[in-house]
Structure 1
Amino acid sequence: MDAEAWNARYGEAELLWGTEPNTFVAAEMAAVPPGRALDVACGEGRNAIWLASRGWHVVGIDFSEVGLERAARLAGCAGVADRVSFRLVDVVSDPLPAGPFDAVIVAYLQLAAGPRRTVLRKAAAAVAPDGTVVVVGHDTTNLSEGIGGPQDPAVLFSPADVLADLAGLEGLVVEKAQRVRRVVPGADRDAIDALVRLRREPLPGRG
């Protein structure tokens, strides 16, 4: 989907995914000390706003103007507008905001393999020493074994795909790479997501 399609989709609904953060983003970031964070393809801002509510200073980026306008309103309602900013960025073709960031979140950015690799490598390059990268999205097995999510297998990915996308980048330590199940209210089975968490090695003498 392009920016106009996402603008239309956001415009047709009050909130697509609610205001609560993604389950896995919240779990992975709950114990990480606040710093500066980048939320890649932030949509309506639920993860960025949650991070800001926990003391983070967050930059949320997306190519949907409608999504970003809603995110800014929600940040104001949540009382965190001073700790989060939203910028119009095409995460595939544009440079990412200047880092480094103590945390970079890429949640449910479902792209074909080539663009996905481009974005993930830019995202990983933006993380600071001793910083955290969290990638979560609809897993390849969700199409046959899970429920919901995109029905195009070309935009689904596995934890192994994420690690392959980041292969060759120095200083990244894999802390978690697994398939995880996500409860879907009212459904008779779970959704299956791919979850990867990485840490950039600290500078010498600071680890």
Structure 2
Amino acid sequence: MSHHEHADQRQAATDYFEPEGWEQRYAGDAQTWSGHANPRLVELASTLTPGTALDVGCGEGGDVVWLAQQGWHATGADFSRNGLARAARHAELAGVADRVDWWQVDARRFDAQGRTFDLVTSHYLHPPDGGMVEVTRRLATAVAPGGHLLVVGHALHSMPGAHDGHDDQRTRAMFAVEDLLPALPADMEVLVAEERPRRLVREGRAVDVADVTLAARRRA
């Protein structure tokens, strides 16, 4: 599962879906992601009154740190212990460690255990074989009344190799926003369900990609 931007295409596909691959990725000293908040999160959270937030698949914690800097009390959840350790260091360096918590959990087996948050967000998680539908259903259970859910993924046509007919596990892990809608409970109102454009730098070139974007609000 990838967390921010697109993952290294040289890594074996199975490593995207299991903790061991991400433990190896986060084992070194080099920073993997930019540390900047994802734009879809900035768009939504900037319109909300800060409260409690949960970021599932937080990786190195860029979104969690940004949320804390905006006044949220943020919890970062990830299945990689090394990723969470990096995220905690980044929060310390940013001076927001007192506004963040960390939770080691696999999104595929996520259980809110009765906890609710004003904002639940997940960026670029891609469980295999359509698994994001079930993950979205699980994430929705953690949204408080009046709270928001934001799920963002890579659009298939934006992924390298998407047009060459190569159908591997990574490609089959992509999802469309329409796939996620049945996972929402009846008391959630859909605010955004579309692909939204984003520009990134890939191998030194500016590339226009698209994010599958689902934002919903639980009725109070």
TM over 0.5: yes
**1:20 pairs with one of 32, 36, 54:** 36
Q: Contact 2:130/2:174 (CA < 8 Å) preserved in 1?
A: no
Deviations 1:20-60 (A, max 9, x none): 10111111111210001111111111111100111111111
Task: Give the whole-Å Cα distance in 2 for the aligned partners of 1:170 and 1:48.
Answer: 28
Task: Give the whole-Å Cα distance in 2 for the aligned partners of 1:13 and 1:136.
Answer: 27
Deviations 1:71-104 (A, max 9, x none): 0000001111001011111121242364211000
**What are the residue-to-residue correspondences of 1:31-110 with 2, within 5 Å?**
31-96=47-112, 98-110=114-126
Task: Give the whole-Å Cα distance in 2 for the aligned partners of 1:12 and 1:191.
Answer: 29
Structure 1 gaps, min length 5:
203-207
Task: Give the whole-Å Cα distance in 1 for the aligned partners of 2:206 and 2:71.
Answer: 37
Structure 2 gaps, min length 5:
1-16
Structure 1 residue 11: Cα displacement? 2.2
**Residues 1:161 and 2:183 aligned together:** no
Structure 1 residue 122: Cα displacement? 1.1
Tell me the secondary structure at the aligned position of residue 52 of structure 1: helix
Q: Contact 1:139/1:194 (CA < 8 Å) preserved in 2?
A: yes
**Residues 1:126 and 2:114 aligned together:** no
The 1:98/1:38 distance shift into structure 2, 3 A limit, reads: farther
**Residues 1:196 and 2:214 aligned together:** yes
Q: Contact 1:180/1:192 (CA < 8 Å) preserved in 2?
A: yes
Task: Give the whole-Å Cα distance in 2 for the aligned partners of 1:136 and 1:94.
Answer: 17
Tell me the secondary structure at the aligned position of residue 23 of structure 2: helix
1:8 is aligned with what amino acid?
A: Q
**2:7: which partner in 1?**
none
Aligned pairs, number: 196
TM-score by length of 2: 0.83
Q: Contact 1:104/1:134 (CA < 8 Å) preserved in 2?
A: yes
2:56 is aligned with what amino acid?
A: V
Identify the range of structure 1 (6-15 vs 57-66) with the bigger mean alpha-carbon deviation: 6-15
Tell me the secondary structure at the aligned position of residue 73 of structure 1: helix
**1:205: which partner in 2?**
none
Task: Give the whole-Å Cα distance in 2 for the aligned partners of 1:97 and 1:17.
Answer: 30
Identity of aligned residues (%): 37
Task: Give the whole-Å Cα distance in 1 for the aligned partners of 2:127 and 2:115.
Answer: 23
Tell me the secondary structure at the aligned position of residue 205 of structure 2: coil
Tell me the secondary structure at the aligned position of residue 20 of structure 1: coil
Identify the range of structure 1 (156-165 vs 77-86) with the bigger mean alpha-carbon deviation: 156-165
1:156 is aligned with what amino acid?
A: M
